[in-house]
Amino acid sequence: MSYELDHAFLGKPHHQLPRRVYAAQGCDWQYRVDYERLRRQRLEKAREQMEIHDLGALVLYAGANIRYITGSYQGNWKYNINIRYAVLPRGGDPILFETAGSDMQCARIDLPWMHKTRGSNIAEGLKGSAAIAAGAKERKIDPNNDPGLMMRDGIRPAMTWQWAESAVPYMAERMVASIYEVLKEYGVEKEKVGIDNLDMPSLDAFRKFNINIVNGWPAMSAARVVKTIDEIELLKQSSTIGDAAMWHIKHEWLKPGVTERQIEAKVHELMLRLGCEIIYDIIVASGGNTSPYRRWATDKIIRQGDLVIIDINAVGPSGYFIDYVRCFKCAAKMTQKEIDLYKQTYDSMYAGIEMLKPGNSTADVAAKFPEYDDDTYGTVTLQQFAHSIGITLYEGMWISRAYSLSQPAEIKENMYFAIETFAGHPLLEQTTRLEENVLVGPDGPVVFTLMEHMEEAVGNYSRPGMHHPSIQV
């Protein structure tokens, strides 16, 4: 069950308004993020894409994809090491294969929506799971009277195969056998099965079972790139935490004599305290480290007059990212040359943002980026580009002059982008970089990152078109 909010007074839906931010905690007097709806709608979107891509099942190993369809999270360390997996069969609910032991017990406690077996006759409900039934028989357990087996058919033990040395082929076959059992339960073992990523031992094992595996990333990517209402609300909460960190950097922490790493440490502490799950990376580049841009913090001491680029990458409430950049001047006024570089970066970024409208294409956005090494080498530099963000830092769609101009993709409502530009010219002593997080609203872009820009550079700006919400034109 979910509810519709009354937006008559607000004028727009709540999720499209950056300054209307829910508290992360639940309460009885306000309808905030609806986590049941979040999980349900994410699963519905994955199922829709399975049908569009004609898949009998999806088999997922990437932690973010597993979380997307199951709501399961047991720490970032599990996200990309291929020791657990999930299967979404056509016509069925997702089945999570969790690492055995305490991890699986935690999952059974934490994820009641994953419990598929219901009613008093537990043994009857477990007939579909040969592995559980066989294990119970072997241990002489009556499934009807074993609370450890009750209501757990949606969570099963993962067969880990990584780093098993000579046992890797054996364990990989056991892993695929557990998947094949699910495919047979739902009668889709002969159909196309989408896989999100695969190592060579797994590939060999899938071939031995004659499973028709295909690329599952397009289906998951298409599901995740357009956000649900609750995903947008969570992204808004994350941007709020990021804004707070940027304010503290500019107004409290950025002083001559501190190191880049000390700024990074302060950001970590604040953002974790405000509700982030993990801090993915905080890039602090000052002075000469801005040109060429060094994309990691060092123990360099920040000097008076340094330009300082801060790039915040963190996982906010319920796994949704904040990723944006500000450039500050340490304890000095900006020179005219620095102002010109800042304006150049700001102009190209906001020209691209202006194109983030439903019905436009990625080519419309990329055409606003300045020529850079994307053009020179025909590849993505991750400096003059835009990327979709959600429960991963990079998901769904990248926009770059390397290919978007010639192979455009459609921009759709409720996509959510980080868009970033850079004045990366040779022979500069120091330079600027900026990034915003932007929702594609029904009428155009809505900027969610609200920390103001450098007033010396753009405070009284007269550029036609769109601006950051802090700039009064």
Contact 169, 204 (CB under 8 A): yes
Pairing type for strands 57-60 and 192-195 reads parallel
- Please determine, for residue 196, whether its predicted confidence score (pLDDT) is greater than 90: yes
pLDDT in tens, 1-28: 789 999 999 999 999 999 999 999 999 9
pLDDT in tens, 84-118: 999 999 999 999 999 999 999 999 999 999 986 43
Average pLDDT rounded to a whole number, residues 416-437: 97
- Among 243, 229, 225, residue whose Cα is nearest residue 19: 243
pLDDT over 70, % of the chain: 92
pLDDT in tens, 214-260: 999 999 999 999 999 999 999 999 999 999 999 999 999 999 999 99
Taken in order 413, 47, 395, 115, the sign of the CA dihedral is: positive
Residue 253 per-residue DSSP state: I
- Please determine, for residue 124, whether its predicted confidence score (pLDDT) is greater than 70: no
Average pLDDT rounded to a whole number, residues 166-186: 97
Q: Who has greater pLDDT, 144 or 57?
A: 57
State residue 72's pLDDT score. 97
Contact 357, 369 (CB under 8 A): no
Residue 209 per-residue DSSP state: T
Q: Residue 324 and residue 238: Cα distance in Å, rounded? A: 11
Rounded to 5 degrees, what are φ and ψ at 285? Answer: -125, 125
Residue 278 per-residue DSSP state: E
Model-level pTM greater than 0.85? Answer: yes
Average pLDDT rounded to a whole number, residues 51-65: 97
- DSSP class per residue in 300-361: PBPPTT-EEEEEEEEE-GGG-EEEEEEEEESSSPPPHHHHHHHHHHHHHHHHHHHT--TT-B
State residue 242's pLDDT score. 98
- Please determine, for residue 75, whether its predicted confidence score (pLDDT) is greater than 70: yes
pLDDT over 90, % of the chain: 87
pLDDT in tens, 439-454: 999 999 999 999 999 9
State residue 116's pLDDT score. 67
Mean pLDDT across the chain, nearest whole number?
A: 92
Angle at 367 between CA 361 and CA 371, to 5 degrees: 145
State residue 115's pLDDT score. 86
State residue 247's pLDDT score. 98
State residue 65's pLDDT score. 97
Contact 96, 70 (CB under 8 A): yes
pLDDT in tens, 329-375: 999 999 999 999 999 999 999 999 999 999 999 999 999 999 999 99
